[in-house]
């Protein structure tokens, strides 16, 4: 009987690390052009709230994720968990990534290279990623 409670607690704990990995991944993409803006932070916060983060915990998640991303050597640390989440959440992530990239109205070579790498690491169809890219670009114009 008590195993039911342990299982629910474990489910709760596994959601948070995924949110943290997503936040780190999004922060990494925002920092890749050496210009981490408030606009990008807002995009990241909205995305992780949409994925299930508690709004009251968002500032702590962001602060922890910024430190974790800064201390990390590679995006593989973050993509290991993110690649296993459901397709709907992956769509939220990819849209947020493109929103971050186009937040300054320009995608540089580092940002586009990152998206190509992430498509492979997250096992995403390039057409899926391209469709979201076009959706975001149209929204920005």
- The per-residue pLDDT for range 4-31, each reduced to its tens digit, is 444 344 334 334 568 999 999 999 999 9
Q: How far apart are CA 32 and CA 11, in angstroms?
A: 32
Structural domain total, the chain: 1
CATH of residue 33 = 1.10.3680.10
Q: Which domain holds residue 18?
A: 2-140
Q: Is this model's pTM higher than 0.75 or not? A: yes
Q: How far apart are CA 77 and CA 54, in angstroms?
A: 23
Q: How far apart are CA 102 and CA 100, in angstroms?
A: 6
Look at residue 3 and tell me whether its pLDDT is greater than 60.
no
What's residue 57's pLDDT? 95
**C-beta neighbour count of 16 within 10 angstroms:** 14
- Give first-to-last CA distance, the chain, whole Å: 56
């Amino acid at each position: 009987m008590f195993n039911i409670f342990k299982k629910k607690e474990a489910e709760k704990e596994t959601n948070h690390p995924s949110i943290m990995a997503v936040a780190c991944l999004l922060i990494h993409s925002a920092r890749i052009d050496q210009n981490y803006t408030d606009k990008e932070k807002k995009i990241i916060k909205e995305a992780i709230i949409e994925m299930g983060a508690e709004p009251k915990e968002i500032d702590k998640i962001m602060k922890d994720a910024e430190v974790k991303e800064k201390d990390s050597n590679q995006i593989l640390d973050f993509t290991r968990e993110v690649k296993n989440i459901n397709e709907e959440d992956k769509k939220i992530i990819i849209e947020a990534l493109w929103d971050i990239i186009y937040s300054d109205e320009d995608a540089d070579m580092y940002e586009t290279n990152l998206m190509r790498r992430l498509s492979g690491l997250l096992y995403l169809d390039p057409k899926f990623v391209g469709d979201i890219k076009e959706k975001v670009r149209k929204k920005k114009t």
